[in-house]
């Protein structure tokens, strides 16, 4: 948005929840456990299938990795662009949400 004016609308074919950006890409958490990486025109660059007991509404995209929280599953996961799990954290978590943003800032 510039001057509180919508400058671009990107329509996807399903329900969208979380959103993150990095460089000229957007990462969107979608229904049915999909994380989609798209360009600024809305073209799909990658589609990553993950397992989550919750909506994918808390996620961060940085350094070609996606970190997302599973609120109901009480876990935070990191996957690469192919969907390979890099790590998971489950110890002593109860409904992780904002933890994802804090973690990404710490990792940078």
51-101: pLDDT as tens digits: 999 999 889 998 899 999 888 888 889 999 999 999 998 877 665 555 555
Least Cα distance to 53 among 76, 36, 83, 37 occurs for 76
pTM: 0.81
Are the beta carbons of 66 and 18 closer than 8 angstroms? no
Q: Which CATH architecture has domain 16-107?
A: Beta Barrel (2.40)
């Amino acid at each position: 948005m510039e001057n509180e004016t919508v400058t671009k609308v990107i329509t996807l074919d399903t329900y969208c929840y979380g959103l993150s950006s990095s460089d000229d890409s957007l990462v969107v958490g979608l229904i049915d456990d999909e994380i989609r990486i798209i360009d600024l025109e809305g073209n799909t660059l990658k589609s990553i299938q993950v397992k989550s007991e919750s909506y994918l509404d808390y996620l961060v995209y940085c350094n070609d990795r996606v970190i997302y929280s599973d609120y109901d599953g009480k876990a935070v996961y990191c996957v690469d662009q192919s969907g390979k799990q890099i790590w998971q954290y489950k110890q002593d978590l109860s409904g992780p949400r904002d933890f994802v943003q804090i973690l990404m800032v710490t990792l940078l």
